[in-house]
Structure 1
Amino acid sequence: MNNSNSICRICLQDGATYPIFEKFNQDIQSKISLCLHVTIEDIEGYPRVICKNCNETLDNLYNFINKFKENCEILRNGLLNVKQEEISLESSIFLGEENETDYEYECMDHFENLKIIGVKTEPTVDLKPNTNDQTKSNISQVKVKRKIQVEKENVREKVYKRKLRKNKTNRIATSILEGEFTWTGEEWCLSANKIVLPTQQTVRQLQKVVKTKLPKVKKQPPPKLCDLCGEVFKDQDKLSVHKKKVHFKNPVKCPKCPRFCASEYYLKRHMMRKHENKKPFICASCGRGFAFKGELTSHYRNVHNKNLKPKKIFACKICNKTYKCAKSVTVHERSVHTGDRPAVCSVCGTSFFHEDYLKEHMRLHTGETPFKCPICGRGYAQRCNMKSHLRIHRASELDAATLSKLKPNYLKLLKV
């Protein structure tokens, strides 16, 4: 750069005449630093002037930035004014206690006045440079329109809330304020003379009393369908009894052992389980084989998962004695600690510790004998009496068909 006095500092073209660094006029330097966010320093050997085109571009950019900042400030001030007017309007809406219809009519009149003040059509914004009066008038029109919209929304919301408040009443709170109830420290009592204003604590206690828990309804199990005849039963027990009595009347003897099966279906399963070596379902933990998948599942759940899932234990609240079922805990607490006998017989007046004991007792009055001896068919009202009766029979006097029908626990009770 031998001739740096005539080269432009920005575009590096000849014919530059506008100086950048002057002691009394530093407009170009300040404009460049404002627009480009760069500080230009006077370095030896660098051009110190700019050309006419760069100067005009810099002026336009400088004016554009200043105009943008001024308009942003105007818009910000206008929004703040609108927000302050909204707050003042909301605070002044429900100061009076006039009727609801009069209040609505006043709001509608207020809207009409605001419409007269404002402009119906949208204000058009001219892209050409406007004067300050035109910009102020446009901003005022926008403020008025925004104010009308905000007032409409707020008044509609307030009227809706007021209608809800009018329709919704708290009967308990009004009855307390009217003096129908008084708080004794433990419960609410009727009183026609005294008027007691409840505190927050008493209201909370009243709410707890008012809330009622609905009883839990146990879902009934789905009905069971007989796959042989299509008849429907309430539970699995009745379905199994139906199959034994109707479909499996003729027992079938196993050809390889003295066991009798209820039908050919159960004989086939017995042969696969006991007399055939084909057992495709193998336990992954112990290697034991099973003929059916259900047997493998029950084996894994009862043998290997037994330690992983410990049995639930029920403890007494008074002496911490543990039992395996909740019924035993209830009977223990009533018989040992409290002495309550809530189950009372309606015929003879005998009371019991649990409802199940009452059901067994009621069979004495009704004559029902659901527990039948599997050998002689004699009926008993309680299972324990039927087990005691089994001790009079001898195993040597029974045939193989009868012995195969007995449960292993019943076989232990027979005489030799």
Structure 2
Amino acid sequence: MSVAPGISRHPYFPERGNEGYWVEHYELSLDYRVGANRLRAAAVISAFASRPRSLDTFSLDLSSALRVSGVLVDGEPARFAHRGDKLRVTPARALQEGTLFAVEVRYGGNPRPLPSRWGGLGWEQLTDGVIVASQPTGAPSWFPCNDDPSGKSTYRITVTTGSAYEVVASGRLAGRRRAASTTTWVYEQAEPTATYLASVQVGRYQSVEVQGPVPQRLVFPSRLGARVLTDFGRQEQMIDLFTGMFGPYPFASYTVVVTGDELEIPVEAQAMSIFGSNHVDGRRGEERLVAHELAHQWFGNSLTLENWREIWLHEGFAAYAEWLWSEASGDETADALADRWHRRLAALPQDFLLADPGPRRLFDDRVYKRGALALHALRRALGDEPFFSLLREWTGTYQHGAVTTEKFTRMAARFSATALDGLFSRWLYTERLPPVPAHRTGDGGGPQR
């Protein structure tokens, strides 16, 4: 049975996402004044109608803090209503199933983060600049979209702002031109990207290019330069390690932005991670976070959950990557970290379901650490060579796609001589924490590269 346009199929955030169409491409043109926090923008959205019958109305997610001045569908004015962070559009003519159509939305105002139980999400002013941190539902704070994590699209993002500022946005820098006191930056994102992973960062930054098999770019305030270069100095070795374990790096490059402000936690975006000034100390004190955010490029950004209940497929895998880096770099082994975290989780209330934690526990530490433990249990059950072969096939098969827990457990079963139903039942679908997984007899003990 089809779902009516404007009704989300995602139970965690039923107010987000829209049925009846899917978006192929977003072209965003943003003119932004940093000091005034003033945005004037246009979005051209190329989409396919997918409703079995004709689509006579549809919705986009867009913050009510922004004012819409006009909407065109295929070049013709369309009626619209903008209330409750929903932009409802009625085109002049109904759209037939399979029709490619273009929606142009002109809008502007003072963008602000969208409220959530985790604080503000999306476009947010810094002391002197902007950060966009949209996970999970902050994308409508700055552009009209179909805010569904499984709906991936390509992007072209053009940002005009004061020439004193560096702009970093999702994708490859395709052009930059200066006119009087402003500079226009153009970025193109060719790989399919979820709305919450599209990003814009604005600040008084300098940048350093790091050449290698995967080109890296470090963007930071000049006063933090020495710390940043030290703290991210082993990132190339991380990429090499993770490429061997997880398969080829899934994007053309990787950018790290360090803001001049402190941030509560780092944030991942497509082919980009954003850290606060408090995450760099010049002593690699937060190197586990460097590994964690890098791992998200495979697990979360290339492979993106179909539904937010699958969050362990992002955070559990990235947390386990921290343990793998620790082990490979000569620090604590994954076994030691698993034992320590198992003791901590065992002391907590046994009321947590990893495969469906609920929206209030989306970023509960148990999503991260029990997720990592579940992967460690699987690694011990399979042995290193089958386990890392599984991860490489997982990332290769679903590259730039949407994934579910069921898809992962079904694939994992092919790498085991014995049934894994009990293991997955205990770790994913049972509230009580299972015992720490036993060492596999004859296991080599180290990750296969």
Please confirm whether the aligned pair reaches a TM-score higher than 0.5, indicating the same fold.
no
User: How does the TM-score come out when normalised to structure 2?
Assistant: 0.19
TM-score scaled by length of structure 1:
0.20
More helix per residue: 1
